[in-house]
Amino acid sequence: MPARSRIRWLIFAFLFLFTFAAYVQRTAITVAAEPMMPQLGLTQLQIGWLETAFLVSYTALQFPGGLAGQYLGARRMFTLCGIVSVLATLAVPALPSVSRGTALFWELLCAQFMLGVSQAPLFAMLSGSLECWFPPRQWALTQGLSSCGIGLGGAAAPAAIAALMVHLGWRPALIIVALPVAALVALWWHNGRDRPSQHPRVTQAELAELPPAQATAGMSPPSWKRIRRLLLNRDLAGLTLSYFAMNLVFFLITFWSFLYLVQARHFTALEGGLAAALPPLAGAAGAGIGGAGASALSARLGALKGLRLLPVITLPAAGVLLLISVHAASAWAALAGLSLAFGLLEVNEGPFWAASMEIGGEDAVAAGAILNTGGNLGGIVATPVVAFISGGGDWTTPFVAGAGCALASALIWLLINPAAPASARAIAPLPIGKGTT
């Protein structure tokens, strides 16, 4: 059977595009903020609150959204979330036509809150869909490739939205951003299915490449007994703590690269804008490489060693590069080190998410939701701390702390078994090292 005819790769294309679109949508208001503020009478602090509204709802609803998605199934959940995200995105350019002043600010706050609600289940649902559609040997590969959408969306959104704003204005630009997502949702409803056996174009040969239960069962509705087992699982808790530490570094680079390059390295605003696109591009490449590498290593060494090897090597290396960057004499050397550090950091998206799928088993969606809750808590912690420290002109401390977090994230991997299904274990953990190899 030719690889190009496998329907699972069509499903993967949809999941990748949902990831890409999500990062374009969440970045849109930040890019449009400069013309929005004078036209709507908003302050920079209020723009910050709009961004915070998204992050709070997005983080708080990871787990409940994942459970709801596990109950509804991928086809309905992605459709519902896509529709809400389109309406929330369109609300931002539409609301100034009907409101002004304080009322407008609160309405925009609600729109951003709802955008966070719509995107909260995204990565957990993606994880569950990949588990249903792909054989275990390809979980890390597809997780890594899907994470490329994060970097590509983060890099493409500022340039594309800025270009549209120059020619059309910020309100038409945000409307145009929403329209392709609406088309994507409609196509997904027509082509997407919860499990391979439901899709009319999936052949028996493709089904035979999957474990029988995986091809037909789909996502299991959650039960309190299984969810309680996940919440008390030591390996998932350790994985989540490690992901929290890694994402402290992720948000440091993602949110603060531009200001660091302008304030500490004296790039012009235009140079800084172009230069700040390099770390997310390096991150996209790293995610793809890491996913492929983790899949190959897992096939060769087993899931335990194969998923663990990349994090324990690349996370400390990323920390070293952060230290080199902040102490480099050349601004361009600092940019190169920052980009390479982010690329090595994102190598680990595939291993982290594949490990959550291994641990979660039939509850991979819930396990992914727990993992991503920890990851986004990293953003909530890192953002105000870095703002406070860097606001005083100190950029060295955040990067040194980031290097320490990268090392801590790697060390935690040595204490967990990323390949032990929670359903196969008692609440009391087995000794370290026992489990799937």
pTM, rounded to two decimals: 0.77
92, 29 contact by CB (below 8 A): yes
Domains 1-221 and 223-429 share a fold: yes
What pLDDT is stored for residue 217 in this prediction? 60
What pLDDT is stored for residue 70 in this prediction? 84
The span from the CA of 90 to the CA of 414, in Å, is 46
| Torsion on CA atoms 146, 150, 151, 154, rounded to nearest 10 | 150
Q: What is the pLDDT of residues 30-68, one digit of tens each?
A: 778 778 888 898 886 787 788 888 888 998 898 898 888
3-class SS letters over 285-307 = HHHHHHHHHHHHHHHHHCHHHHH
The 8-class DSSP code of residue 431 comes to P
pLDDT < 70 regions, the chain: 1-5, 44, 213-220, 269-274, 422-437
Q: What is the pLDDT of residues 155-165, one digit of tens each?
A: 777 777 777 88
What pLDDT is stored for residue 230 in this prediction? 84
Provide CATH code, domain 1-221: 1.20.1250.20
Pick the CATH number of 223-429 from 3.40.50.970, 1.10.287.3510, 1.20.1250.20, 3.20.20.150: 1.20.1250.20
What pLDDT is stored for residue 272 in this prediction? 62
The span from the CA of 293 to the CA of 112, in Å, is 36
Burial pattern 64-102, b for ≥16 Cβ within 10 A else e, equals: ebbbbbbebbbbebbbbbbbbbbbbbbbbbbbbeeeeee
The span from the CA of 349 to the CA of 146, in Å, is 9
The span from the CA of 207 to the CA of 210, in Å, is 6
- Write down the domain spans for the chain: 1-221, 223-429
What pLDDT is stored for residue 17 in this prediction? 93
